[in-house]
Amino acid sequence: MKTNFHEQDSKIITPTYAKANVDFTHGKGALLFDSKGKQYLDFASGISVNALGHSHPAIKKAIREQSEKFSHISNLFPNSPQIKLAQKMLSLTKFGKEKGKAFFCNSGTEANEAAIKFARKYFHNNRIEIIAFENGFHGRTYGALAATGQEKLKEGFGPMPAGFKHVEWNNVEELKKAVGKNTAAIMLEPVVAEGGILMPSKKIIETINQLKKQSGCLIIADEIQIGFGRCGAISCSELFGINADITTWAKSLGGGLPLGLVLMSAKIAECLKPGDHGTTFGGNPIACAAGLAVLEIISKPKILSNVKERSLQLKNGLEALAKKHPCLGKVRGCGLLLGIECKKPVADVIAACREQGLLILRAGTDVLRFLPPLIVTKAQVNEALKKLDRSIFTIL
C-alpha cells in the first residue's frame, strides 16, 4: 500500500516539527492547493515569509534572470544583487542617512547571532551583557537561543552562552535595574510575535531609548517577523520610535529564499574588519535578487496602505467574532501580524480551520495568529473570517 506523504516524511525527517498531513502542490497569491485539488487561504505565509503570496511573477522573473547569470560566487567577491538590496534597505531606513552598513546571512537566527557578536565587538569585550525580554523569540542557534526568553526552548540544550539576562516584557522598573555598566545591548522584538503577539507599551519604548542615552548601551531590534512591510512600514522599530543601532531582518526579505540581513550604524560597522565574521552563502545573489524584487513592490504606498486597510478589516472582523464566540478573547498585534486569544485548544482550532481551507498559526500558548500575505484582498479577509467562524462552530 502506498504510504501517505506524512508517513514518508516522519520515517526519515527528524521529529522536530509538528507537521500537518497536507500535500501542497502549488500556490498562487494568497492561495495554496493540495494534491486533491483542495484550495486553502494561506494566512500563515510560510511563517511570515511570503509577503507577496505564492508564485509572484516579479520574484519568479528575478530568480530566473539571476540564475541564468550565476547562483553563487561567495563573499570573496562583491555581487550586484547584494549591493542593490543593501542600498535599497539602507535608503528606506534611518541607517542610510547615518551612513550605516549591511551584513548579509541566510536566516533570522544567523542575523541575530551576527547582531550579538557585533554589539559585543563594538565594546571590545568590555561590556558583554545582552538584556532581552521574557517571551521574546530570536532563533534556535546558541546565541539567539540564549537571547530568547522562553525557557522551554532551552530545556535539554544547556549550558547556554553566558551574558544574557531577561526581564519581563513591558516591565520598566525591571529593565532599569537590569541595565548597567556591563550592558552591551538591549535586544527586543518590537512586537513579541512567536511568544504571544505582545505589543510594546509607550513607556517601555521611552525607557529603552532613555537607557541607551544614559548607559551608552546599544539597542538591537529584531524585525525578522514584524518588519519589512508587515507592520505597515518597512521598519517597525522606526515606526514605533525605537532608536535602534542594529536591526535584524530575514523571513520575507528573500522572497521565499533563505536570506538574513543585519543593518547597523556606521560606528558599529567601523569596528569590523575582514575575518571578524562571515558566511559562505550569506547574501546569495539569487536570494538577494528575489528580495530586491519584493522590496521594490512592498515599499510602494499601495502595498503599505493595503496592509493598514486589511489589518483594520481583519481586526474588526475578529472582534466581531469574539462577540459571537465566548471562546474568543482580545485581539492583539498590528499590521498583518494579528492574533486573537482563544480558550479552546489552539491546535484543535488550527486543525479545524485547515479542514475549512484556512491556514493559520499559533502564538504563545493560547493565541491564534494570522499572517496573511501583504497583498491579501478584502474578499479574502472576509472569506478567512467566515472560515474561522465555521471552524469554531465545528469544535464547540
Q: What are 46's three cell numbers?
A: 510560510
DSSP 127: -
User: Between 193 and 289, whose beta carbon lies closer to ligand PLP?
Assistant: 193
DSSP 192: B
Each residue 144-183 as x (binds ligand PLP by CB under 6 A) or -, in order, gives ----------------------------------------
Is 108 a binding residue for ligand PLP by CB under 6 A? The answer is: yes
Distance CA 205, CA 194 (A): 20
Among 50, 66, 93, 109, binds ligand PLP (CB under 6 A): 109
Q: Are 350 and 44 in contact (CB under 8 A)?
A: no
Q: Are 191 and 333 in contact (CB under 8 A)?
A: yes
Pairing of strands 164-167, 129-133: parallel
Each residue 223-252 as x (binds ligand PLP by CB under 6 A) or -, in order, gives -xx------------------------x--
Each residue 33-62 as x (binds ligand PLP by CB under 6 A) or -, in order, gives --------------x---------------
Distance CA 196, CA 292 (A): 30
Among 56, 138, 230, 332, binds ligand PLP (CB under 6 A): 138
Cβ count within 10 A of residue 257: 18
Cα separations in angstroms, 249 against 106, 227, 291: 10, 7, 11
Total residues contacting ligand PLP (rule CB under 6 A)? 15
Q: Which of 59, 30, 25 has the alpha carbon at shortest distance from 42?
A: 30
**Closest separation in Å from C-beta 57 to ligand PLP:** 25
Is 370 a binding residue for ligand PLP by CB under 6 A? The answer is: no
Is 137 a binding residue for ligand PLP by CB under 6 A? The answer is: yes
Pairing of strands 260-264, 218-222: unpaired
**Closest separation in Å from C-beta 148 to ligand PLP:** 8
Q: Measured at CB, which residue is nearest to ligand PLP? A: 108
Binding site for ligand PLP (CB under 6 A): 47, 107-109, 112, 137-139, 189, 193-194, 222, 224-225, 250
